[in-house]
Structure 1
Amino acid sequence: MLAGVAFAVLSAGAALAQATPAQPPLADGLERGELYMEADLVVRDDAGKTTTARGDVEVRYNGRTLRADELIYEEERGVITARGHVQTISGTGSVEYADEIVLDDEMKAGVATGFSTRMENNAKLAAATAVRRNENVNELNRAIYTPCQVCVDNRAKTPTWSIRADKVVEDRERQLVYYRNAVIRVLGLPVFYTPIFWHPDPQAERKSGFLPPTASASDRRGASYEQPYLLVISPYSDLTLSPQINTKVNPFLNGRYRKRFYSGEIDARFGGTYDTDFDSSGQPFGEETWRSYILASGAFRIDEKWRWGFTAERASDDYIFDKYEVGDVYLSRGPYIADDRRLISQVYAVRQEQLSYLSMAAFSIQGLRPSDVDRTFPIVAPLIEARWEPPREILGGRLRVRASGVALTREQSPDDLTQRLPGVDSRRATGELDWRDSYTSPAGLRVEPFVQARADAYSLEDVSGSVSDTPTRALAVAGADISYPLYRRFAEATVVFEPLVQVAISPDAEQIVVGYDSSGDPIYLDEDSQSFEFDETTLFRANKFPGFDLYEDGLRVNVGARASVFWDDGRRASLLVGRSFRDEDNDAFPARTGLQPTASDWIVAAEAQPLKGVSMFSRVRLDGDSLDVERAEAGANVALKRASGYFRYLRDDANINGDKTENLDLGAELVLTDHWGVTAAGSRDLVQNAWVVRDLGVFYRDDCTRVDIFYRREDTVLGRLGPSESIAFRLTLATLGEAINAN
């Protein structure tokens, strides 16, 4: 009977469906134009052409669902009136509630009293009365908007924040919510009034508007307020402008432009001001001038094999990022990465296939450290690297062919900054063959023989004692990696013990000499291996130098043993101990690496995951004779339900500059209650016995709000920037800017 009544109610709609082309069924299984209705009682008045349904009424039509205690359909007027616990559910999942609602027969337009709606992301709108113009526009009178929870355990709860207004218009087509005479309330108290207000529809992916501001106070800039504004230029581009207003110094403007193309994207950050310089207390000095920075990158795909890109990183002042607290500066934006507090500008192109690789690049570096002199940094152009692997095995093993070339131009020598001596300009071309095979015996002994052969050609200018030089050399190494993993299964874990041996032999390598020190010892060309460290990652490398300028030669044997435990529940731990032996001393290695003598320092490395969400690591280099700690590094990461944090410790008795380094970095976030938590972070220089920076914060968060307050103390002295203190405040409201992760 109900099926017959439903057919009679909207026969015109069914006829329309028959006249239109067939379309896929909707999510509820109905075709477009078809109607399904059920109720405890249905009464049909043929004379008045009225259908009345009572008791748990449910109607589904064109992807929408209407539920009510009573429903009256007037066929001639094309009007549906629903009363009592009315719900309308759209195909997108948003739900609207009302005491009474009058709709057209398409359920798209109507009027409601006692109206409320819950949107897709759990935001709510409620009003005394509402007018639904169409499926995209709702007008609400005496309304309130909030994304917060409004009831707990069936008891009324004041939302953390809300917006009340005389009139609210939700325009889903434009993806905006407009307010007239709006009052923003926090914990039920009015804190802000505006006659006109709008924000993006919570369902909008991107929309122009203000983003969460940041307020702070520091010794350097005084009180500061930064208000970002996002301008959506097109579906593929946007611009964010963030003016920073300061009480002690002139305003500073930060910006970010992003655009996506069919083949790639551009991301450019920039900022600037017109002001004098100032010290750590905000006292000005020097002349007024433009001070600015740019941090830009782009990456594009030419076709399936080729891609190209660039980075542009420059700053007018060495300390501009510190003075104006610009964050996320020293990030990886391209394939080549500079050191901390240094900027790199590069352009590159890469062609990659399964068996071949080619890259071409050029870059320059700007140093922002107090001791940096940009003239001593080389301009690298070009830098070419290529690899090719034959598709078939050669002599039963894998063969790789490599080629590379680089040209470095340096304006000033870094050896003596008191004199403007010309720097060494160098050009290198290299060709290399790398062959490797692998054999495993029935007993599990694994042997991997390898052979590497290389030829280098150099062109040097401004070398001490000569105007130019063009040395060439041939290099080679042959050897084998040998391992014998042993397995043992216990009740709930697997233990693996693996002895490791590498034997390698090379003829004497001709190192490139560019001068001699005061004692008459040669100074070798070393543009690409200066930051080399001897640890578990380089222990079993046939040539331990990471670059090309220096090469390891002679007979050497690298030995070690690794033990690992793998528990069935996911926990694991491993320990590696190893050492390198050679037939004679090698002065090509810096003394600080522990690789010069015939018996190297000891390498010990361990890592573990004792608990879910907890990981730890450590690596130590011990003196080969006394077993004193020459270099040590340790760290841990924790990610638990109510706590997360990190710990890093580094000690190096002789860093790249020959100085002792020892520092400690740590940070943590602890959720104390369902809503309150604290954060702390710090970096301490243990050589100077002083904190470099300390952060302490407290935050409140719930399903719709996050408030952060940070205190920072910086003790680092950078030029005329001495120690400073600052306090920052950040308020984030869900659906008004950024999403909140309250997990």
Structure 2
Amino acid sequence: MAFTRNGGRSAPAKFGLLAGAAWLALAASAHAQTPPPADGLGEDRLFMEADQVVRDDASQTATARGEVEVRYRGRTLRADELVYDEAAGVIRARGNTAILNPDGTVEYADEIVLDEEMKAGVATGFAARLPENVKLAAGTAVRRSEQVHELNRAIYTPCDICAPDGTTPKTPTWSIQAERVVQDRERQLVYYRNAWIRVFGQPIAYLPIFWHPDPTAERKSGLLPPKFSASDRRGFSYEQPYVWVVSPHSDITLSPQLNVKVNPFLNVHARKRFYSGAIDARMGYTYDTDFDGQGQSFGDATSRSYILASGAFAIDENWRWGFTAERSSDDLLFDKYEIGDVYESRGPYIADDRRLISQAYATRQDQQSWFSAAAFTVQGLRPGDNERTFPVAAPLVEARYEPTGAVAGGRLRTRASAVVLTREQSPDFPTVRLPGLDSRRATAEADWRATYTSAAGLRVAPFLHARFDAYSFDDNMVGVVGVGPTSRSVSRGLGVAGVDVTYPFFRRFSDFTAILEPIVQLAASPDLKQIELGRNALGQTVYLNEDAIAFEFDETNLFRANKFPGYDLYEDGVRVNVGGRASVFWDDGRRASLLVGRSFRDAPNEIFAERTGLRDRASDWIVAADAQPLPGVRVFTRARLDGDSLDVERAEAGANVYTRRASGYFRYLRSNTDINGDKTENFDVGGELYLTKNWGVTVYGNRDLVQEAWVIRDIGVVYRDECTRVDIIYRREDTVIGRLGPSDSVTVRLTLATLGEPLYGR
């Protein structure tokens, strides 16, 4: 009985067993059970195609020959010959055998033998291509059950084994070769016996017993790649992370750091996901004396630790709540033990660099409104920081509401906020430790804006803003040496009315479009008496300013009617903000833009700090430009120029570059007067350049141009390919923070694909 390249069926029961070999899974990896493709086949129906199918009743065999292809339950089996021996209960596939699985993996063998129940089988000349580019090869592969597979004389590698031309063999960057490999699908582990780890074909480590998670396992306990380093501070250091998967929803990473010069340091990273949210907590602990930049101990031994934790949860569709907990026992703990990713955002409120914030918050948001309530404290790790002078904000409440539809032809928004700030100590008198200023504020405000555009393109946007504030103070120590009581209450009403006018001009050229847009903003507010706390030792008025200390005048607030970002200070009087923006957009994706503007007012305003350039009737000039002159290249600059001399008072510039073989950035900052009254000038530069396909160099530097010294500088060598990344980085830290002092260090980072963590997952 023969079929010539036909999709028909014969002897359905027997050929069902024959085609069942298409879902033979001898690979040392569990495959995802994805639904069969929409090819018209039912759950238990098959498609078979062959040059010839022969049924021999005498020997009770059925044979399919010549480009055999069987599709069953989403899998495809291809072979030169397929034989079903009914008497022996054996299915045999021979010649160029390949199994294509629904998840894209492929298994190859010279010959596959399977029992008729498909619970056990053997393959010779076995090879498989699995997810994440993993390759497996073995002399024989044995399927002992649906859960346990065994490979003999096997090799495992996620690296390429062929040159780019696809024909020339290539030694993998790294591989594991073993006498025996057992894959346990139920435990999602791969076990090795008498294993050699080879790098570029050379054996570097022998392990009698070794195991790692199955490449398809999402999370599994095991060792992560280690980190090696050597520095003046700690000597040689070895850090070995271990991941313990506690449950499907939680894991703990233990990273003991062993140091030659100082005591070990234990890092712990715990994560747990709940049905409504998750907790992420990093902690560290050691018991040791303090030490300087050369690893010399001093002081008494004590417990030293840190915590960096956060959690976020959904209460229902609109409500969320969360927290962060950030604390360190030592100001320099993170620097001494090279603990990274410290000063990053973990919640809605963010502290400055080298400061930690602990907060608790709840928010509610829907289509029309927003509400939040929070409390937070800040720990300062900078030299000279005194936590007792930092305020505790508890509570901090903010609410916004925007009615649907237009109100008087425009958009109306209402806001309310309140905050209570409590200080333990006044920052003005550190030696006598006087009580710190405690303040309370409640605010209600409304903002209305409309936009009208003429047929000629003139855009007019009138706006109104009204606000009411109520304040109360206690322990106002400024009043002790100046004027005013130590406790009092004050309220005020304020507002602004104005209009924005813009008139953009468009011009189309042969290969680009140019836009020229003049901008004018007119704003007027009643004269406002700012909230005075008293006078300092020089007789200067001290105004309440808790939320605009770091204010800078630039293009982001040039066209703000009230340039102060917070509530305590408010811009009053009549002012006109003028500027012009020019933009060019090329058809090939290049672009460039330039903004120039300044602010004018009816009278000088001494509420603005001298360094902002906003005190005089005519402000400093604001200039900002950015461009993308080439694909992968972006440059920007912003500057504030003296209104009379055009001298540069503050400037920033930067560039980002990304190409096939290089990426990097450059940042420059110069300020004649920062918030502390000092001159600042520095630059950052960093990037990596690949000199060949696999080898490259990395650099990073931060230089203080005022002190004419490098703060930190790195240079490294990197090797990477499809399965490996090795970074060797030399770092020189020239900063002197407390007794830490300058330091030199060398760090080695190794990342192997499928082992420990995703490749290049930084």
Separation in 2, partners of 1:573, 1:650: 21
Greater mean deviation of Cα atoms: 206-215 or 461-470? 461-470
Greater mean deviation of Cα atoms: 179-188 or 596-605? 179-188
- Which of 92, 96, 100 pairs up with 1:85? 96
Q: In the alignment, does 2:54 pair up with 1:51?
A: no
Separation in 2, partners of 1:574, 1:496: 9
Separation in 2, partners of 1:633, 1:715: 24
Asked if structure 1 preserves the Cα contact closer than 8 Å seen for 2:751 and 2:760, the reply is no
Separation in 1, partners of 2:267, 2:467: 49
- Which of 356, 362, 376 pairs up with 2:375? 362
Question: CA deviation digits over 1:638-685, x for unaligned, max 9?
Answer: 111111001100000000000000000010111111111110011000
Whichever residue aligns with residue 255 of structure 1, its letter is V
Relative to structure 1, the CA distance from residue 410 to residue 657 in structure 2 (aligned partners, 3 Å threshold; closer, same or farther) is: same
Separation in 1, partners of 2:35, 2:582: 59
1:641-720 matched pairs, under 5 angstroms: 641-720=660-739
Which residue does 1:64 correspond to in 2? Answer: 75
Q: In the alignment, does 2:594 pair up with 1:575?
A: yes
Separation in 2, partners of 1:111, 1:518: 91
Which residue does 2:413 correspond to in 1? Answer: 400
1:106-505 matched pairs, under 5 angstroms: 109-152=120-163, 153=165, 154-463=167-476, 464-465=479-480, 466-505=485-524
Separation in 2, partners of 1:710, 1:540: 45
- Which of 543, 555, 558 pairs up with 1:539? 558
Asked if structure 2 preserves the Cα contact closer than 8 Å seen for 1:703 and 1:742, the reply is no
Question: CA deviation digits over 1:611-663, x for unaligned, max 9?
Answer: 12111111000001111000000111111111100110000000000000000
Greater mean deviation of Cα atoms: 130-139 or 638-647? 130-139
Relative to structure 1, the CA distance from residue 350 to residue 198 in structure 2 (aligned partners, 3 Å threshold; closer, same or farther) is: same
Relative to structure 1, the CA distance from residue 699 to residue 27 in structure 2 (aligned partners, 3 Å threshold; closer, same or farther) is: farther
Whichever residue aligns with residue 529 of structure 2, its letter is E
* 1:26 to partner: Cα distance: 4.4
Relative to structure 1, the CA distance from residue 224 to residue 297 in structure 2 (aligned partners, 3 Å threshold; closer, same or farther) is: same
Relative to structure 1, the CA distance from residue 301 to residue 742 in structure 2 (aligned partners, 3 Å threshold; closer, same or farther) is: closer
* 1:691 to partner: Cα distance: 0.4
Question: CA deviation digits over 1:571-610, x for unaligned, max 9?
Answer: 1111000000011111110000000011100000001111
Coordinate RMSD, CA, aligned: 1.9
* 1:741 to partner: Cα distance: 4.6
Which residue does 1:601 correspond to in 2? Answer: 620
Separation in 1, partners of 2:73, 2:557: 66
* 1:560 to partner: Cα distance: 0.5
Asked if structure 1 preserves the Cα contact closer than 8 Å seen for 2:688 and 2:698, the reply is yes
Separation in 1, partners of 2:99, 2:397: 64
Separation in 1, partners of 2:219, 2:597: 54
Greater mean deviation of Cα atoms: 117-126 or 357-366? 117-126
TM-score relative to the length of structure 2:
0.94
1:721-740 matched pairs, under 5 angstroms: 721-740=740-759
Q: Helix, strand or coil: the match of 1:151? A: coil
Which residue does 1:20 correspond to in 2? Answer: none
Asked if structure 2 preserves the Cα contact closer than 8 Å seen for 1:213 and 1:228, the reply is yes
Which residue does 2:570 correspond to in 1? Answer: 551
- Which of 506, 511, 534 pairs up with 2:530? 511
Relative to structure 1, the CA distance from residue 5 to residue 495 in structure 2 (aligned partners, 3 Å threshold; closer, same or farther) is: closer
Whichever residue aligns with residue 228 of structure 2, its letter is A
Which residue does 2:10 correspond to in 1? Answer: 7
Greater mean deviation of Cα atoms: 277-286 or 412-421? 412-421
Separation in 2, partners of 1:394, 1:32: 60
Whichever residue aligns with residue 692 of structure 1, its letter is V
- Which of 563, 583, 589 pairs up with 1:564? 583
Asked if structure 1 preserves the Cα contact closer than 8 Å seen for 2:19 and 2:48, the reply is no
Question: CA deviation digits over 1:326-353, x for unaligned, max 9?
Answer: 0000001111100000000000111111
Unaligned runs of 5+ in 2: 21-33
Question: CA deviation digits over 1:147-189, x for unaligned, max 9?
Answer: 1112224233221111111110122332211001111111111
* 1:4 to partner: Cα distance: 8.8
Separation in 2, partners of 1:80, 1:14: 8
Whichever residue aligns with residue 94 of structure 1, its letter is T
Unaligned runs of 5+ in 1: 18-22
Whichever residue aligns with residue 132 of structure 1, its letter is R
* 1:106 to partner: Cα distance: 5.9
Separation in 2, partners of 1:312, 1:519: 40
Asked if structure 2 preserves the Cα contact closer than 8 Å seen for 1:14 and 1:34, the reply is no
Q: Helix, strand or coil: the match of 1:375? A: helix
Separation in 2, partners of 1:149, 1:434: 62
Separation in 2, partners of 1:4, 1:651: 76
Asked if structure 2 preserves the Cα contact closer than 8 Å seen for 1:24 and 1:31, the reply is no
Separation in 2, partners of 1:108, 1:36: 22
Q: Helix, strand or coil: the match of 2:11? A: helix
Asked if structure 1 preserves the Cα contact closer than 8 Å seen for 2:35 and 2:74, the reply is no
Separation in 2, partners of 1:61, 1:501: 71
Separation in 1, partners of 2:465, 2:313: 35
Separation in 1, partners of 2:335, 2:388: 23
Asked if structure 2 preserves the Cα contact closer than 8 Å seen for 1:9 and 1:75, the reply is no
Q: In the alignment, does 2:41 pair up with 1:30?
A: yes
Separation in 1, partners of 2:704, 2:396: 37
Separation in 2, partners of 1:475, 1:686: 43
Whichever residue aligns with residue 623 of structure 1, its letter is D
Which residue does 2:29 correspond to in 1? Answer: none
Q: Helix, strand or coil: the match of 2:565? A: coil
Whichever residue aligns with residue 458 of structure 1, its letter is Y
Relative to structure 1, the CA distance from residue 14 to residue 123 in structure 2 (aligned partners, 3 Å threshold; closer, same or farther) is: closer
Relative to structure 1, the CA distance from residue 35 to residue 441 in structure 2 (aligned partners, 3 Å threshold; closer, same or farther) is: closer
Separation in 2, partners of 1:142, 1:634: 59
Relative to structure 1, the CA distance from residue 609 to residue 237 in structure 2 (aligned partners, 3 Å threshold; closer, same or farther) is: same
Q: Helix, strand or coil: the match of 1:411? A: coil
* 1:521 to partner: Cα distance: 2.7
Q: Helix, strand or coil: the match of 1:674? A: coil
Question: CA deviation digits over 1:48-86, x for unaligned, max 9?
Answer: 221122222222233332222222111233321122222
Separation in 2, partners of 1:730, 1:451: 57
Separation in 2, partners of 1:173, 1:190: 31
Asked if structure 2 preserves the Cα contact closer than 8 Å seen for 1:116 and 1:126, the reply is yes
* 1:461 to partner: Cα distance: 0.9
Asked if structure 2 preserves the Cα contact closer than 8 Å seen for 1:83 and 1:99, the reply is yes
Whichever residue aligns with residue 501 of structure 1, its letter is V
Q: Aligned pairs, how many?
A: 738
* 1:29 to partner: Cα distance: 3.6
Q: In the alignment, does 2:652 pair up with 1:633?
A: yes
Separation in 2, partners of 1:52, 1:392: 75
* 1:255 to partner: Cα distance: 1.1
Asked if structure 2 preserves the Cα contact closer than 8 Å seen for 1:359 and 1:385, the reply is yes
